Structure 1
Amino acid sequence: MTELRRLSSLLIQAETDVVTCRQCAKQIAQWLGLPALDQIRLATAVSEIARNIYQYARSGAFHFYLGRDARGSVVSIIFDAVDQGPGIAELNRILDGSYVSPTGMGVGLRGAQRLLEHWDIQTSPGGTRIRGGKAVHPPRPFPDDRQIETLQRDLANAGVADPFVALQEQGSDLLLTAAELQNKQRELEATNLELETTNKGVVALYSELEKTAHELTAASESKSRFFSNMTHEFRTPINIIENISKLLLTGSDDELNAEQLKQVGFISAAAGELAEMVNELLDLAEAESGRMEVVASAFSLESFVEQLRQFTAALALRYPRLSWEVISPDHPVMLETDRNRLFQVMRNLISNAFKYTPEGSVTVRVFQPDEKTIEMVVEDTGVGISEENLSRIFEEFARIRMPGLTQVQGNGLGLPLAQRLAVLLRGQIRVSSGLGKGSRFSVDIARCLHEEDADDLENLSLEGLTVLIIDDNEGDRYLLRRLLEPYKPVIIEATSAGDSIDKLHAVRPDIIFLDLELPDIYGADLLESMDWAMHARVLINTAKPLSDSERLALAGQCAGVLPKGQANYAESVLRQVRRLSGSLRDAN
C-alpha cells in the first residue's frame, strides 16, 4: 500500500490560481527529475481539472502529495482536487466519450484522465473529489525532511503566477509535445513500413508452404499410384510361379525326386508369401489414396463371430502349444458395415497374436459398449511390446525384434493396413501391452457405417465460406445451388472459363466446382492454369466418362472427382464439401 506525504495545498478562487496549480505540478515533477513530456502531461492534467473547478464550482482546493512504497521509494506524484460545486452530471458518459456537450464540458476531464496513470473520481450534488497522479518510474529515493522543506519553501515563494509567462511556457510545452509527436509519427511510419514488408514476406512464405504441402501431397499420391500399378504388374508373374510350382508338386507331368520336391516346395512357399505382400501393398496403396471402396451390407454379429472362430481354429493347427477361445456376444446384434474389410482387420490381429505368442493363449472377445459401437478385442499372453516400440507398430514395414522370437514371418504391413481399414470403417485400433506381459488390441467400429456420415451432414455448416460453380449448364448449376444453400455458403456462378478468371483472382473461393466441358476451354486446362494453392479446393464435376488413366491424372491435381448422374450424387457432393470445409477450418 502506498503512503502519502503532503507537499503543498493551493486554493482555487481566481483564474490565475489555475496557472499557479499548473506551475506547481510541473515544478514538483521537475524537482523529482521526471522526463520533460511527463512533466507536461502532469501539468496539463492538473490545469484542466483546476479550470473545471473554477468554471463549474467557482472555488476549490488542490493538495499535492508524494507517494511512497513499502521500500521507502517515491513511486508517484498524487493530487487531490476538491470542490463543493453541484457535482458532475453524466459522469460515466463523459469519461467513456459518448457525451456530447455544446459547451465542451467534459472534454478536459476525459483528456486529463488519459494523461494520468492514477485516477479516481467521486461526485455528488454536494461536491466532487478527484484523486489523480503520475507514476514515477523508475522509483526515486524518498527525500528527507530538509529536502521536502526546501521544496515547500520554493513552492510558497513562487507567489502568484504571471499569466503571460505561463502562456509562454505553455507555448514551449506545446512545441516540445509537437516535436515529440512528430518523432512518434516517424517511428510509427517506419514500423508500419516494416510490418508491411514483413507481411508481404509472411504471405509469400505461406504461399510457398501451401505449394510445398500440395507438392508433398502429390508426391504421396504418386507413391500410392506407383504401389498400385506395380503391385498389379507383380501379380501376373507371381501367379504364374505359384501355379507352375503347384503343378510340379502334384506331379502332373513327371514325378519329382525328394530333393526336387523340397526345392519346389520352397519356391511355392516363397511365391505365396510374395503374393500376400503384394495384396497388402495394393490394399495399403488404395487405402492411402482414398480409392478403396467400402461396401456396407447387413449381417448378424453372431455369424461374423462364427467366421472368426473357423478362421482361428484353422490357424491354431500350426500352433499346437497354444490354447485359444472366441467368445460370442451375449445378445443378438445386427451390423451394417463392410464385412470383408472388417474380417481383414480381425484376421491380421488374430494372426499377429498367434505369431507373437510362443506358448499360452489367445482370446477373442466381442462387446457392444453402446447402441452405435461394436468393440472387438484380441488378447494374448505372448512376448508383448515394449513402451518405446508401441508407437512404431503402425508404421509401414516396421519390424519389431522380439526377444526369444527369431522365425516370425511378416512384412510389417499387416498392422498399418488394419489401422487404415478400421478408419475407413469409422473406427480405430487401440493397443495396450508390456514387454513379457502379452498384448491387447481393441477395434472400435461404427455398428452402422453410414449413420455417422448422416450425423456429420446434419451438422454441416458452410457459413463464411465462398463456393464458385464453373459450369455452362444452367440445370447443373441450379442443382448444386439447391444442394448447398441450406448450409449457408456464399455461392458465385460462372458460365465459362473466361467468366471465372476475375472471380478466381478477386475472390479466391474456398471451394470450386469445375465442369470439364466448358464452351471456351477444356476444364482441365483451366485447372492447370490455376496456382497450386487453388488446386486443393477444386472438385471436378463432370458428366464426361473418364478412363482410369484420366481419373488418376485428375485426382493428382484436384481435391476430388464427382461424376454427374451417379446414383448417390447428392450425398457424394455433400461428403466432399464436408471434407474440404473441415480441412479449410483446420488450416485456419
Structure 2
Amino acid sequence: MKIGIRNKILFGYVVILVCLIASILLISNQISQMQKQRNFIINHDIQVFVLAGQVEKSLLEMQTGQRGYAITGSNDYVNAYEVSRDHLEDDYAELYNLLSDNPSQQDKLQSIKSSIDNWITKTSEPIIRLKNNGQDAQIGDFYSQNPDAAAIKSVRDQFETFRGTELNLTKQRAASLDTQNLSLRYTMYGLIVLTTIIALVIGLAISKSIVSTVQQVIGNIKAMTSGGNLSSRLNVRTNDEIKELAIATNGLLDVMEDRSWVQTGINTVNTQNQGISSLEPLGETFLKNLADMTDSAMGAFYVKDGDVFVKKAGYAFGTENAKNSFAYGEGLAGQAAIDKKVVCVNDLGADYQPISTSMGNIKPSSLIVAPILYKSNAIAIIELSSLGDYQQKHIELLEALTESMGLTVNSVLGQMEIKRLLAESQAMTEELQTQSEELQTQSEELQMQSEELQMINEQLESRSEDAEDKSKELENAKEELEAQAKQLMASSKYKSEFLANMSHELRTPLNSILILSEMLAENTGKKLALEEQEFAEIIHSSGQDLLNLIDEILDLSKVESGKLEVHFSEVNAAGIPEYIERNFAHIAAQKGLYLNIDKSDAVPDLIYTDEKRLNQIIKNLLSNAFKFTSEGGITVSIDTIPGNQIRLTVKDTGIGIPKNKHDIIFEAFQQGDGATVRKYGGTGLGLSICRELAKLLGGSISLTSEEGKGSTFTLTIPVHPDLSAITEEQKTQLEAAAAAEIKIAPAITQAEPAAEGNAFAGRNVLIVDDDHRNIYVLEAALKNEGMNVISAENGQKCLDILKTNDSIDLILMDIMMPVMDGYETMKTIRGDYKMTEVPIIALTAKAMKNDREKCLEAGASDYISKPLKMEQLLSAMRVWLTN
C-alpha cells in the first residue's frame, strides 16, 4: 500500500496529538481532584473558623447584654441578649453539622456547649431574674464574687484548643495538596519526555527515508555529469514519492548507461578504424571490435561488388554451409541490404552455420545483420551470430554505426581505387616511354604511332577526369566526416537537455518540500514543539542544499555548452571590499579567523565587467578559503598589473593543496583527495565554474599552494574587456536578454506601493498546475493570506474555468503540463479570450535559457522559477494585484 510523505508526516502528528490529548486528560483529572480538595479547604475549614468565631462572639455579646441589663435595667440589653443567644444556637448547630466527619471535634464542641449552657444556667439567667425582681443589692453581691470570669475564660480556652486542632487539620490537607501538586509536576515532566521521544523517533524515521534517497540521487547525478559509474541503482523500500523519485532516477540511469555504452562503442570503433587503407584489415578490425562489444561468437563482413556482396573478412568464420557472396534480396542479409535496416533474430533454426571450436561445433542462438550505408545505399553488410540473445543496446550500436562505417568503407574504397588508377597510370607512363623510344628509331611509323598516342592521351585524360571525380568524392567524404563530427558534438547537447529535464523533475518535488518545510519552520500557529520546528528547518536546509547543487550543475552545463550569459556594465571597484566584508566578516568571527582586505589606490574606481559573475567568483574563492582554514585567517589583496588588468588575490593559512593536485581541482567534481571530500564536503564544481566564468570575463585564475602551508588563488580580469571577441551568437543572446528586461520593466515601474492592509484579502487566484502537491502547498499558503483559491490541473481546464468565472484577479500558470501546456494556454487567454488585464505569473521548474523570454512572449506578466520562495512569490503577486 502506498503511503505518501504527507500521510507519514500527518500520521506522526496524529500520534503526537494523541499522546498530548491523553496527557492533557490525565493531568486534567488530577487537577480536578486537587481542585476538589482546595474547594473543601475553602468551603469547610474557613467556614469552621468563621462559625467558631461567630459562636464565641455571640457568647460575648450575651455577656455584654446580660451585664448591661443588670446595670441599666434597659430592655434593649435583654433583647440583644436573646438575639445573640438565638444566633449562638443556630451557629453552633451549623458548626456541629459541618463537623459530621470529625467526631473528635464534635466532642469538643459538645464540651464547649455544656460550658456555655452551665454559664447561662448558673450565672446569666440568675442575674437577669434578680434584675427583673428588683434585687439590685443581691446583684452587687453576686458580681462582687466575679462568677462568670472563670466560665467565660474556660469557654474561650476551649475554643482556642478547638481552633488549634482545626488549624492542624487544615495544614495536613494543604500538605496533602502540595504532595499531589508535586506528583502532578513529575507526571507532566514524564509525559513531555515521552512525547518528545515519540516525536524524535517519528521525525528521524521520516527524514531518514527522505534524505538518504536524495543523497543517493545526488551521487547518481554526479556520476551522470562527470562520466562516472552508471551501474548503481537506487533501492527504496518505502512506497511513497521518494520511491517514485528513485524509480524515475533508475529509469534515467538505465537510459544513460545504454547511451553511454553505445557512444563508447562508436568512439572505439571509429578510433580503431583510423589509418586502415584496405578492406580486409578494415573488416577484420571492425568484426573483432563488434564481437567484443556484442558478445558475438562468429561474424562476416561483405562488401558490394557490382550486383553482389562478396565476403572480405570473417571472425571465427567456418566454411561449412557458408556463402562467400549473395545478391540483393537473397536471404536475411540480402533483404537487409534492400530494407536498409538492422535485422535481429534471437531464435535461430538448426540449419544455421555452426560455431566451430577445438572440441566441436556449437549451434548459435541468435543472429544480427546490419547494412552499412553510404548516401542511403547499402555498400557493405555485417553479419554476426551469438550463443546468447542480442540486446536492444547492441541493435542501437549497429544502427548508430551504419552511416559512420559507410563513410569509412567508402573512403577505403576510394583510396583503393586511387591506388589502382595510379598503378595503371604508372604502367601507361612506362609504356609511353617505350613507345617514345620506338618512335625515335622507327620514324616511318610516326604517323600511325602518333594516332595511337592521341588515343592513349584521350584515355589518360578520361582517366584523369575519373581521378578528379574520385578526388571530389574524397572531398565529399571529408565533408561528411566533418558533418559526422558535428553530429558527435551535437550529441553533447543531450547532456544539457537531460540536466534541464532532470532539473525539472527534481525541482517539482523540491518545490513542495521547501515550501512546506518553510511553513512548518515558521510555526505561525505555534502548534509545533521546538524540536519539531528544528526538524522542519533541517528538512528545508537540506532541500536548499540540493537546490544549490542543481543550480551549480546547470551553471556548469551552461558554461561547457557556451550558453552562459554575461552582461558587461560599469562596476564600482570600490564596492568589492564592502561586498567581501558584508558577506564573510561574520564567518571569520564565528570561526575565530582574521579577514584582511587590502585595496591598492591604483585600482580604478570603475571597471567594465559582469558584476554578478565577478561576485560569484569572489564568493566561491572565499567560501573555499574559509572551508579549508581552521587557524590563522584569510587575506584579500586587490591591485593592478601591467596590461590594464586588475589582480585579486585570496590567500589563506589552511590545509594547502599538493602540487600534483593543482590541475585537477579545476576540473568538475574534483577536490584535493577523497579525505578532503569526506571531511569538508562540497561538490567540486565551484573552482571549475570559477575558471570558466573568468574566461568569459576575459581573465584567468591561477594557484600557488603547498600542502600544510595554505593556498593562494589569483584572479586577473581586464579593466576594459575586448568585446570584439564575443561571438555573434553571444551578442544576439545579450540583446535578447536586454530586450526581455526592457519588456517587463515598465510594467513593474508603473506599479508605487501596496495600500495599507492586506492586499490579498478576498482576492481570487487561479492556480494552474498538474502537480497536486504544488497545488496543495500554494493553496495552504495563499489561503493563509486570506485569498480565495481555485485550481486547475492543465491548461484546458483553466480555460473552462475562465469561460464561466470572470472574477479571477490573478493566475499562477505552470508551464510544463499535459493536454495543454502553459505557453499555449497563455496565448489563448490573451488572444482568443481577450483577457489582457488579468495578471499571469508563469511558474516553471525547468528554468533554462530563454524560458523567461518565451513566457513573456506567450503573454505572461511575470516569471518565477521553481522551487518557489514564498516571499518572492507573494512580493510579485502584491505588485501585480496593486497595479
TM-score (norm 1): 0.42
Larger radius of gyration: 2
Answer 1 or 2: which has greater strand percent.
Answer: 1
Larger RCO (CA within 8 A; separation ≥ 6): 1
Answer 1 or 2: which has greater helix percent.
Answer: 2
